[in-house]
Amino acid sequence: MSTGPLEGITVIEFGGFIAGPFAGQLLGDYGARVIKVEPPGGDPMRRWGVLHEGRSLWWPAIARNKESVVLDLKTEKDRELARSLMVGADVVLENFAPGRMAEWGLDYASVAPDNPGLIMVHVSGFGQDGPRAHDRGFGSVAEAMGGLRALMGYPDRPPVRAGISLGDEIAAMFAVIGTLAALHERNRTGRGQEVDVGLYESVFALTESLLPDWEIGGVQRTRTGSTLPGVAPSNVYKTCDGVEILIAANADAIYQRLCQAMGRPELATDERFATHQARGRHAEELDEIIQSWVGTLDAATVEALLDDHGVPRGRIYTPADILADEQYAARKMITRLEAPGYPRPIPMPSVVPKFTRTPGTIRRPGPELGEHTEAVRREFGGDE
* Cα-Cα-Cα-Cα dihedral sign, residues 48, 171, 153, 259: negative
Cα–Cα nearest to 182, from 173, 195, 164, 163: 195
Contacts 24+ apart (CB under 8 A), 333-337: 335/362, 337/60, 337/64, 337/362, 337/364, 337/365
Q: Which of 90, 71, 203 is nearest to 148 (CA)?
A: 203
The residues facing 236 across adjacent strands are 246
Tell me the C-alpha distance between 314 and 92, whole Å.
40
The Cα–Cα gap between 141 and 206 comes to 15
**What residues are annotated to the active site?**
168
3-state SS assignment for residue 283 = helix
- Sorted by sequence, the CB contacts under 8 Å of residue 357 that are 6+ apart come out as none
| 116-142 as b/e: b if 16+ CB within 10 A | ebbbbbbbbbbbeeeeebbeebbbebb
Question: E strands, 214-262, where?
Answer: 234-238, 244-248
